[in-house]
């Protein structure tokens, strides 16, 4: 048998509409063959590996059953905790290895973008069986297959999607597909669980498709004046009855397409495991019961659910002929057989996927800018994955918007730099064409702040003359002032943690710690915080476990600018317990901050204007014998091309 072509299914958009149609034809054929009780041998000799890093019943078992039904075999790691992942093996290494044991890999993973990584590193095709809250394309194939079987078509159908639309990955793949098939979507999200911006943006940019959100609150406020043709979505609390009026539906659909009725409800469970606080009360969640199907406009609506259900779908609906969810689950066999069959068809023709030459240019920013999404795979497997971005469309031309290639979340960046000249600029619309060029030349660096640019050795594009405002003696005195303030304020020096922000904050913290030991005889614990590091943002000297609970922390930085660095450092600290107090010590306070943060201990106040920059330059190896090179300088910066052109 020829090897399977490397056709990965990471997103539902990896399949064209004719390919989806072909898969449905194959699914019909397989369903008929199964009905006839035929024993198939099509996949004889093929091995499929299922790697599930998250629980699954339907998806894994139906993929495996589909392969068995086609005469192929399966190797499985249903619980990746029992595999080398528990020993810390990376996803990339795992799929590389498993790809040499199997012809096809099906992977489910809790991180957003993990399936993309698996597809890139595996030598064989990879099917995404759910990656974090991003996508679940094979579930969508089952959903569409049943929806079309029930309704006879997909184009022009009106589908209401209810529940957790933020973390529900089946919802995202379904939305992308319905938008392409020309169906109307009405979303009824749980409050706070709306369809994420990046999903809306993708269908708006790529498909010129928009739909409106109908919040549960809007629905409730319409109660009373709604028509009799109302759909009730009843939250669990009895007094909070929500009403979904036909007027509302008509008003929210694209002009000329107002349907006389709703064709389907796609109900989803709350993805509790993806909530930052898994115990949090999400508020009243939708509860879908028989009453929802009573109105004349909902008479012929089918009720769908990817399953498993929790509390959102009443068992009383199971006997209703409009309930389609068990059919969706059963479709897992013929549809997943069809996916394998579709690969086999291409293999038989000896095809290889042709790389898309017109693909959007992707770039790895230098130095390592991290993705803003804490659940992005690049944040969790950062030892070998560098985040990769594309330029995103932005409504504000003065902001540079980057989209993470792995999880699609967007990130705003204010400063851009050129790798070879080591200059940085404030981004404005004039820079867009330069940025494109630099991406093509792999010379774009992106920074969230001036400080980050400086930390990476970048200089402003142009700057005014530089003036020394503190010499090494003055810096020494300011440090002593700081140490005295900290000590005077301290009830118990033994419980103290000095946490320095990389790089200059950490250097100052080390000196401050020496001064505190010299004066009190007690050595405070030292921590180093690197707000730009995705993999290793907090460190101790000895690499021991960090628990800041009930400790007093003095957070140290060189200059307080916007306050942004401090804010991020606090967030990192909070991941390691609840401290008794966090105090901020800065060598220099220059005013102007964007975030209301005030330092508790200040070495020196230096009022500056907004365009001025205060830079602390510290001797990395002070030895007391030679003259120290410590100094603080001030200069004005002309960050943008436009600004400097105006002054030339």
Decide if 167 contacts 133 (C-beta within 8 A). yes
DSSP state of 16: -
Q: Which of residues 164-193 bind ligand NCD (CB under 6 A)?
A: 169-170
State the nearest-atom distance from the C-beta of 81 to ligand NCD, in Å. 17
Neighbours of 89 (CB within 10 A): 13
Question: Which residues between 83 and 122 bind ligand NCD (CB under 6 A)?
Answer: none
The least CB distance from residue 29 to ligand NCD, in Å, is: 24
Instruction: Compute the least distance from the CB of residue 136 to ligand NCD, in Å.
Output: 5
Pairwise CA distance, residues 23 & 627, whole Å: 75
Measure the CA–CA gap between 414 and 450, rounded to whole angstroms: 9
Q: Per-residue b/e over 485-523, b at no fewer than 16 CB within 10 Å?
A: bbeeebeebeebbbbbbbebbbbbbbbbbebbeeebeee
Work out how close the CB of 270 gets to ligand NCD at its nearest, in angstroms, rounded to a whole number. Answer: 9
Q: Does 59 bind ligand NCD (CB under 6 A)?
A: yes
Contact 348, 2 (CB under 8 A): yes
128 interacts with ligand NCD by CB under 6 A: no
Q: Virtual CA dihedral for 368, 372, 375, 378, nearest 10 degrees?
A: -20
How far is the C-alpha of 535 from the C-alpha of 376, rounded, in Å? 12
Which residue number, 331 or 347, has a Cβ lying nearer to ligand NCD? Answer: 331
> In angstroms, what is the minimal distance from the CB of 217 to ligand NCD?
24
| Window 306-365: residues binding ligand NCD (CB under 6 A) | 306-308
Q: How many residues bind ligand NCD (CB under 6 A)?
A: 11
SS3 639: coil
Does position 417 bind ligand NCD by CB under 6 A? no
Task: Name the one range near ligand NCD by CB under 6 A: 96-104, 231-239, 305-313, 620-628.
Answer: 305-313
Phi then psi dihedrals of residue 54, to 5 deg = -140, 160
Q: How far is the CB of 271 from ligand NCD (least distance, A)?
A: 6
Residue 58 C-beta: closest distance to ligand NCD, Å = 5
CB of residue 490 to ligand NCD, shortest distance in Å: 50
Q: Does 136 bind ligand NCD (CB under 6 A)?
A: yes
- Residue whose CB is less far from ligand NCD, 233 or 478: 233
Strands, E, within 359-414: which ranges?
389-391, 400-404, 410-413
Q: Which residue's Cβ lies closest to ligand NCD? A: 306
Q: Give the burial string for 28-52 (b: 16+ CB within 10 Å, else e).
A: eebbebeeeeeebebbeebebbbbb
Q: Which is nearer to ligand NCD, 313 or 637 (CB)?
A: 313
Subset of 265-304 contacting ligand NCD (CB under 6 A): 269
- Cβ proximity to ligand NCD: between 111 and 551 the closer is 111
Among 14, 19, 28, 58, binds ligand NCD (CB under 6 A): 58
Residue carrying structure tokens 């659910």: 305
137 binds ligand NCD (CB under 6 A): no
The residues of the shown chain that bind ligand NCD, judged by CB under 6 A, are 58-59, 130, 136, 139, 169-170, 269, 306-308
């Amino acid at each position: 048998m020829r090897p399977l072509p490397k056709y990965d299914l990471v997103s539902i958009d990896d399949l064209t509409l004719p390919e989806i149609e072909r898969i449905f034809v194959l699914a019909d054929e397989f369903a008929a063959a199964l009905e006839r009780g035929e024993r198939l041998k099509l996949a004889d000799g093929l091995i499929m590996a299922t790697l599930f890093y998250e629980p699954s019943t339907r998806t894994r078992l139906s993929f495996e059953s589909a392969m068995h039904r086609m005469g192929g075999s399966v190797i499985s790691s249903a619980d990746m905790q029992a595999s080398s992942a528990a020993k810390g093996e990376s996803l990339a290494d795992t799929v590389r290895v498993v790809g040499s044991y199997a012809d096809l890999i099906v992977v489910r993973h809790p991180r957003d973008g993990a399936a993309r990584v698996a597809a890139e590193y595996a030598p064989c095709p990879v099917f995404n069986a759910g990656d974090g809250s991003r996508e679940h394309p094979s579930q969508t194939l089952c959903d569409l297959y049943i929806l079309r079987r029930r309704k006879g078509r997909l184009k022009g159908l009106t589908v209401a999607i209810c529940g957790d639309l933020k973390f529900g990955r089946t919802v995202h793949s379904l939305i992308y597909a319905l938008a392409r098939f020309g169906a109307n979507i009405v979303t009824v999200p749980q409050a706070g669980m709306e369809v994420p911006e990046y999903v809306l943006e993708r269908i708006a940019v790529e498909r010129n498709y928009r739909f409106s959100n109908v919040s549960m609150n809007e629905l409730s406020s319409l109660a009373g004046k709604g028509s009799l043709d109302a759909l009730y979505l009843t939250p669990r609390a009895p007094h909070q009855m929500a009403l979904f009026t036909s007027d509302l539906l008509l008003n929210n659909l694209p002009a000329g397409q107002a349907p006389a009725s709703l064709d389907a409800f796609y109900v989803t469970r709350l993805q509790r495991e993806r909530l930052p606080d898994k115990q949090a009360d999400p508020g009243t969640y939708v509860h879908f019961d028989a009453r929802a199907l009573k109105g004349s406009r909902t008479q012929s609506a089918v009720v769908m659910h990817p399953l498993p259900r929790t509390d959102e779908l009443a068992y009383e609906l199971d006997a209703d002929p409009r309930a389609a969810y068990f059919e969706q689950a059963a479709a897992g066999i013929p549809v997943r057989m069809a996916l394998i069959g579709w690969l086999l068809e291409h293999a038989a023709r000896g095809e290889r996927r042709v790389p898309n030459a017109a693909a959007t240019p992707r770039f790895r920013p230098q130095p390592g800018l991290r993705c803003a999404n804490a659940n992005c795979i690049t944040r969790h497997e950062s030892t070998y994955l560098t985040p990769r971005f594309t330029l995103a469309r932005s409504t504000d031309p003065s902001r540079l918007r980057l989209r993470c290639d792995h999880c699609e979340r967007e990130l705003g960046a204010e400063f851009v730099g050129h790798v070879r000249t080591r200059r940085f600029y404030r981004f404005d619309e004039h820079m867009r064409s330069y940025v494109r060029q630099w991406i093509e030349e792999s010379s774009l660096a992106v920074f969230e702040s001036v400080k980050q640019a400086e930390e990476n050795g970048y200089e402003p594009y142009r700057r005014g003359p530089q003036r020394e405002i503190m010499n090494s003696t003055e810096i020494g005195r300011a440090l002593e002032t700081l140490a005295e303030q900290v000590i005077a304020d301290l009830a118990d020096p033994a419980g103290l943690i000095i946490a320095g922000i990389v790089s200059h904050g950490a250097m100052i913290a080390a000196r401050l710690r020496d001064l505190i030991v010299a004066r009190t005889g007690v050595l405070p614990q030292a921590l180093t915080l690197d707000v730009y590091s995705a993999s290793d943002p907090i460190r101790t000297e000895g690499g021991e476990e960090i628990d800041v609970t009930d400790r007093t922390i003095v957070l140290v930085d060189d200059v307080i600018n916007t306050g942004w660095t401090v804010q991020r450092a606090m967030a990192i600290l909070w991941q390691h317990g609840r401290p008794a107090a966090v105090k901020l010590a800065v060598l220099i306070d220059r005013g102007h901050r964007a975030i209301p943060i005030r330092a508790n201990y200040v070495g020196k106040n230096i009022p500056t204007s907004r365009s001025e920059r205060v830079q602390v330059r510290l001797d990395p190896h002070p030895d007391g014998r030679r003259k120290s090179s410590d100094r603080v300088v001030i200069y004005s910066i002309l960050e943008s091309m436009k600004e400097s052109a105006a002054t030339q």
